Structure 1
Amino acid sequence: MTDNRPHLRVAMIGHSFMGRTHSQAWRSAPRFFNLPLVPEMAVLVGRDAERTQAAAEKLGWAEAATDWRAVLERDDVDLVDICTPGDSHAEIAEAALASGKHVLVEKPLANSVEEAESMAAAARRAREFGARSMVGFTYRRVPALQLAQQLIAEGRIGEIRQVRAQYLQDWLADAEAPLGWRLDKEKAGSGALGDIGAHIVDMTCFLTGQRFAGVSGMLETFVHERPVAESSAGLSGTAGVGRGPVTVDDAALATARLESGATVSLEASRFAWGRKNAMRIELSGTQGAIAFDFEDMNVLEVYDATEPARTAGFRRILATEPEHPYLEAWWPPGHALGYEHGFTHQVVDLVEAIAAGEDPTPSFDDGLHVQRVLDAVERSSLNENRWTQIQTPTS
């Protein structure tokens, strides 16, 4: 049977951790969802020709390349998926948009507010001639969190009063864990703050439908020097030495207010022993509460404060029913989804928005707001935890 749907030809830049997850998503999305455009994995771009070719063959890309600028000049590429460290996001994304390509860029959007502002402005210009852009906060695509957003928007827990958000990992808790690019401020922009704190900032915005008004923050680096692995050669301050400096934060703490005045507490740490990927968020409103923990990612807990005290309690909703977001395309009820499915759903939403001529979310403007919150936390930490207003984005 002939498939007459138009193709969406994708070039992906970067093929490490995020490159692998994005590749799996591009492969699986058209096989489980009836998309209006068929994603075509056209070319994978990396720095090393041999490694990139091997990755392309393993991950399912048609060809490999080492010059992303040359790839942007090709007429047979429609979308550029950027899976590189943050220090290259702005340059690649702006060039891709200027060449008329759609762009997906991994979070956080950039390494600085200035870069994020420039990227958001480029996205607004590109929108005029039909080039769409999105930043990859994939936790928005977890079915249980999609359900949470729907329930909150429907007023099921009333007016939001408090948000408590954590993102806890332990992969750096060992002081002898090797130095990598995520510990280099020049490459990563920040540490736990931007790497995982960005997710809970965006998730707070997504679930509440609000932006942040101001923050008071504190950053802490527990281990200031680490062994340099061979793969880390070339990071700033590591030339010719066995150990190198850690130039980012290991943990970030902040209190904040949303536009409505609701209070927020944020904690991001890569030093929380026993917590592998514990992204947790709990929202308390005037009529109830909603709680989620990614380490039990198919479950949403909902508390209805209007129920009699005799029977009141958190209800455990297993978000695997066909009526739940995205689930109709997957498995029978009770058959859980995993981490990778959020990336597949991200591809689905992006492709559908492009086909409809609509702007996908989260937009570069959304990513800019997150960047402004991260920047305010960092500035507050440097200024004795002083309350710091969040600048209102320009449109």
Structure 2
Amino acid sequence: MAQRGREPERLRVAMVGHGFMGAAHSQAWRTVARFFPLGLEPEMSVIVGRDPDRTEAAREHLGWERASTDWRAVVADPEIDVVDVCSPGASHVEVAIAALRAGKHVLCEKPLANSVADAEAMTAAAASAAEHGVRSMVGFSYRRVPAIAFARRLVQDGRIGTVRQVRALYLQDWLADEDGPMTWRLDKEQAGSGSLGDIGAHAIDLVEHITGATLTSVSGTLETFVRERPLLAEGVGLSGTASTERGTVTVDDAAWFLGRLAGGAADGAVGSFEATRYATGRKNGLTIELSGTSGAIRFDLESMNELQVYDASAAAGEQGFTRVLVTEPEHPYMAAWWPTGHLIGYEHTFTHEVADLVTAIAEGTEPRPSFAEGLHVQRVLDAVERSAADGSSWTAIP
């Protein structure tokens, strides 16, 4: 860590991709050093995209120093210390491995890759790079919601006993209109999978993160409700006019699966999981509910500053879920922000993520979730797909 009174060492960052996630990550890199003591000063050096004009516009809008359309040159640049991978899933493996081999620390958005094989290759590269002090982390940002971090603390402290049942749902409706246009997220070659990998991955990671347990087998069902969608005219954004041509949807629209857990606070528990982009009326409804021998916990992302806690040891007539407003300085991450009762939002989770990564780099420790943890989630996704494809009751996770 930097000594008091000295300027902190610079950490020069390159970000690959400048869409939705690129904007969220840019906000984090802009703000993190203003609220968290890091020991290193992030510098937003380069933003990378495919189209020169749009990348330059993103550079100016998001606050990066320069723009580039050549990620390979950026990764090879000795002036760059960190590569933040925010591009579609198909590009993760090539960019991340090249960056790790070039000695760059890597933050990679979830899911780690589009296939188990690619995730295995990335994890091997991360392990090799770690031997030389190079750090890597998967961007499961919801781990950094203070209420989620507080829930993990309560569960790990035994406050709800042994978890017997888990219910995890991630419900969105942005695809409910069957005439909505094709996007890269509906193309398996680019996205890897649909709702399962896009939002179901979050539910998987959070359940395992909070409980400390591991999914060992799954039984799943996948469904694609709309199999063709209109293509957008070239260069037209999602709000533009679609062409008369139609593209084929090659991913799932909705996913359901049961899972068995082992270890941690949920040894022997059974979980039910649902991820859909067709839940009409639900905009970003991620809920996690854990039922234990001594109590229960419920989290809802649409009320992200709250945690519902049930204490089964309370006297008869006094039992019930208690709403805890997670804004006290004693709660995870909250001491860096505003006075008690003043809420934070979605963008803060990315700031917390970057703070944890930069702190780990400064202190020479391994950040989490690791690429190995990202690989495990990829194996769960793959097992759900295989279970759904062959109709098997249960599919084991390697």
TM above 0.5, yes or no, is: yes
1:77-133 deviation line (CA, Å, top 9, x unaligned): 000000000001000000000000000000000000000011111100000001100
1:335 aligns with 2:338: no
1:323 and 1:359 mapped to 2: Cα distance? 24
Identity %: 62
Amino acid at match of 2:317: R
1:379 aligns with 2:386: yes
Alignment equivalent of 1:190, drawn from 183, 193, 196: 193
1:212 aligns with 2:215: yes
1:85 aligns with 2:75: no
1:191 and 1:241 mapped to 2: Cα distance? 24
2:145 and 2:392 mapped to 1: Cα distance? 33
2:197 and 2:341 mapped to 1: Cα distance? 34
1:120 aligns with 2:127: no
Aligned pairs for 1:353-368 within 5 A: 353-368=360-375
Alignment equivalent of 2:141, drawn from 138, 145, 152: 138
The 3-state SS of whatever aligns with 1:115 is helix
1:53 and 1:2 mapped to 2: Cα distance? 36
Amino acid at match of 1:17: F
1:3 and 1:82 mapped to 2: Cα distance? 31
| CA drift at 1:75 | 1.1
Question: Residue in 2 aligned with 1:237?
Answer: none
Question: Residue in 2 aligned with 1:268?
Answer: 275
2:234 and 2:325 mapped to 1: Cα distance? 42
Question: Residue in 1 aligned with 2:305?
Answer: 298
Amino acid at match of 2:281: G
Alignment equivalent of 1:350, drawn from 323, 340, 357: 357
1:149 aligns with 2:152: yes
- Normalized against structure 1, the TM-score is what? 0.96
Question: Residue in 2 aligned with 1:101?
Answer: 104
1:281 aligns with 2:284: no
Question: Residue in 2 aligned with 1:10?
Answer: 13
1:256 aligns with 2:259: yes
1:349 and 1:2 mapped to 2: Cα distance? 22
2:215 and 2:147 mapped to 1: Cα distance? 23
| CA drift at 1:386 | 2.6
| CA drift at 1:230 | 2.2
Amino acid at match of 1:112: S
Alignment equivalent of 2:65, drawn from 41, 62, 66: 62
| CA drift at 1:309 | 2.0
Q: Structure 2: any 5+ residue segments left out of the alignment?
A: 237-242
C-alpha contact (below 8 Å) 1:180/1:232 kept by paired residues? no
- Normalized against structure 2, the TM-score is what? 0.95
Q: Which stretch shows the higher mean deviation, 16-25 or 255-264?
A: 255-264
The 3-state SS of whatever aligns with 1:11 is strand
1:29 aligns with 2:32: yes
Structure 1 residue ranges, 4+ long, deviating more than 6 angstroms after superposition: none
Q: Structure 1: any 5+ residue segments left out of the alignment?
A: 234-239
| CA drift at 1:3 | 5.0
The 3-state SS of whatever aligns with 2:349 is helix
The 3-state SS of whatever aligns with 1:228 is strand
**Given the superposition, is the C-alpha separation of residues 231 and 37 from structure 1 closer, same or farther in structure 2, using an over 3 Å criterion?**
farther
| CA drift at 1:231 | 4.9
The 3-state SS of whatever aligns with 2:225 is coil
C-alpha contact (below 8 Å) 1:179/1:232 kept by paired residues? no
1:247 aligns with 2:250: yes
1:288 and 1:153 mapped to 2: Cα distance? 13
Alignment equivalent of 2:167, drawn from 161, 164, 167: 164
C-alpha contact (below 8 Å) 1:218/1:385 kept by paired residues? no
The 3-state SS of whatever aligns with 1:219 is strand
1:359 and 1:85 mapped to 2: Cα distance? 25
1:289-317 deviation line (CA, Å, top 9, x unaligned): 00000000000000011111210000100
Amino acid at match of 2:121: S
1:102 and 1:17 mapped to 2: Cα distance? 22
2:319 and 2:197 mapped to 1: Cα distance? 38
Amino acid at match of 1:227: P
| CA drift at 1:50 | 1.4
Question: Residue in 2 aligned with 1:74?
Answer: 77
1:324-383 deviation line (CA, Å, top 9, x unaligned): 111111111111111000000001000001111111000000000000000000000001
Query: RMSD across aligned C-alpha pairs, in angstroms?
Result: 1.3
Question: Residue in 2 aligned with 1:236?
Answer: none
The 3-state SS of whatever aligns with 2:335 is helix
Question: Residue in 2 aligned with 1:47?
Answer: 50
1:111 aligns with 2:117: no
Question: Residue in 1 aligned with 2:240?
Answer: none
The 3-state SS of whatever aligns with 2:368 is coil
Amino acid at match of 1:324: H
Question: Residue in 2 aligned with 1:318?
Answer: 325
| CA drift at 1:279 | 0.5
